[in-house]
Structure 1
Amino acid sequence: MRNIQKYIEHTNLKADITSKDVEMLLADAKENNLYGICVPPFWVKKAKRDIGKSNIQLITVIGFPLGYQMSQAKEVESILAIKDGADEIDMVLNISAVKSEMMWPKIEIAKMSKLTHESGKILKVIIETAYLSDKEIVDVCKICADAGADFVKTSTGFASAGAKVEHVKLMRSVLPAHVGIKASGGIKTYQQALELIDAGADRIGTSSGPKICSEA
């Protein structure tokens, strides 16, 4: 049996998330020995306090969910999130700039990489594969790797489609071994998670962590 727990970032990024939901997310993560939890920036401080000395990692999102904020806004968001206790930053790529064939995304990722690494944290870049062609996925993955991202993440979960095996395989074929892949969006079953891991995913972002573990 695959040790699925070490891959899972148990996630709740719904608009109506409450403090009780954050507590439940953490309780589920502790009970199932999951890698970490992912919460909106507003709840990072509480989540960090509740995690305490547990080794559960705390992840949050930046520039969520569309990614077209100014880089300076993303930097401020990240600084505050790290100050509040975030261990990992999942930043949404500026897809608008990608589609306009600008250099902006690479510059932005490089700045964010420097900021997170200087704080000893991890940067994941959400590229939202549902909006990209295969060529654009390849090009963006190369940009992320060159600019210093630690992971490339498939999806926010807010687009028309989430993680797909074929996209993860494509990403893995392009990214160097030291850059991880986080598959997220629409992952509800153990079989889905397993297929994505076998395709090359190093992390699974899902709101169904306990269900997946029980199926495993």
Structure 2
Amino acid sequence: MIEQESLSGTLLASQIDSTLLSATATPPEIVRLCREARTYEFASVCVNPVYVALAAENLGGSPVKVCTVIGFPLGANKTEVKVAEALRAIADGAQELDMVIALGYLKANDVLRVEADIRAVVEAAGDQAQVKVILETAELTDSEIRAGALAALRAGAQFVKTSTGFGKGGATLAAVRILRETVGDALGIKAAGGIRTRQEALDLLAAGATRIGTSAGATLVILERAQSFA
């Protein structure tokens, strides 16, 4: 866990997934997102699958990774569809996959089915992409959060993630703490959904998050080389 006092602007930037998942996002907006990510040296840009190839083209040669979403935003796609999405995204240049769990199965306590769904995407990704498992924690009880996180751990994912940003709630300190208590140091934790200020991001990192997903990345970091993008 990272202490707030140690987080410089540059370190915070390196833990941000700069996100643009709006249904109305345009190609020029994706290009601008990538340009901004290069300047601030964010961890990744997270875009819808239709824009993965465009993001990969614009981030070529930079350390910024291309992230996309799988089974988004409901998680209710068949497993084979999620696998097909993952394979196509990787072919287009994705290096990180944020997949939504089969939420209804978790609510029904069918954890084995949830785990199998995650494992199929993890196996499809192989060593070509990291998988972050979106639990949509605002929809879950504390025990369901723990069960979902453990399913992600057993299935071989690299991260658990709080939220899609399209549900009834976003990242909370309580959810992040439960996730960290559950998975220990075995998985990364991505806090996402409703994070709009630097202090919110710092608090979530102090609670145990290792990645911040936000559409307000540029406003969270303070860098000497900051500039505006027309």
**Cα distance, 1:101 vs. partner?**
2.0
Q: Is the 8 A contact 2:31 2:54 kept in 1?
A: no
Pairing 1:112–2:121 present: yes
Which one of the candidate residues 148, 155, 178 is aligned to 1:140? 148
Q: Which residue of 2 aligns with 1:58?
A: 66
Q: Is the 8 A contact 1:145 1:176 kept in 2?
A: no
Pairing 1:187–2:195 present: yes
Q: Secondary structure at the match of 2:99?
A: strand
The whole-number CA distance in structure 1 between the counterparts of 2:37 and 2:91 is 23
Pairing 1:87–2:95 present: yes
Which one of the candidate residues 199, 211, 215 is aligned to 2:207? 199
Q: Is the 8 A contact 1:10 1:36 kept in 2?
A: yes
Q: Is the 8 A contact 1:126 1:154 kept in 2?
A: yes
Q: Which residue of 1 aligns with 2:227?
A: none
Q: Which amino acid aligns with 1:203?
A: R
Q: Which amino acid aligns with 1:194?
A: L
The whole-number CA distance in structure 2 between the counterparts of 1:52 and 1:6 is 17
TM-score normalized by the length of structure 1: 0.96
| Structure 1 alignment gaps of length 5 or more | none
1:39-82 superposed Cα distances (whole Å, 9 cap, x missing partner): 00000011111111111100000000000100000000000000
The whole-number CA distance in structure 2 between the counterparts of 1:161 and 1:39 is 20
Pairing 1:155–2:166 present: no
**Cα distance, 1:87 vs. partner?**
0.3
Q: Which residue of 1 aligns with 2:180?
A: 172
Aligned residues: CA RMSD: 1.3
Q: Which residue of 1 aligns with 2:228?
A: none
The whole-number CA distance in structure 2 between the counterparts of 1:190 and 1:84 is 32
Q: Which amino acid aligns with 1:107?
A: A
**Cα distance, 1:176 vs. partner?**
3.4
Q: Which residue of 1 aligns with 2:221?
A: 213
Q: Is the 8 A contact 2:38 2:59 kept in 1?
A: no
Q: Is the 8 A contact 2:90 2:128 kept in 1?
A: no
Q: Secondary structure at the match of 1:182?
A: strand
1:72-115 superposed Cα distances (whole Å, 9 cap, x missing partner): 00000000000000000000011011112222111111111111
Q: List structure 1 runs of 4+ shifted beyond 4 angstroms.
A: none
Q: Which amino acid aligns with 2:66?
A: L
Q: Secondary structure at the match of 1:90?
A: strand
The whole-number CA distance in structure 2 between the counterparts of 1:98 and 1:18 is 34
**Cα distance, 1:195 vs. partner?**
0.3
**Cα distance, 1:120 vs. partner?**
2.4
Q: Is the 8 A contact 2:41 2:63 kept in 1?
A: no
The whole-number CA distance in structure 2 between the counterparts of 1:214 and 1:188 is 14
Q: Secondary structure at the match of 1:109?
A: helix
Residue identity (%): 38
Q: Is the 8 A contact 2:159 2:188 kept in 1?
A: yes
Q: Which amino acid aligns with 1:193?
A: A
Q: Which amino acid aligns with 1:105?
A: V
TM-score normalized by the length of structure 2: 0.91
| Structure 2 alignment gaps of length 5 or more | 1-5, 225-230
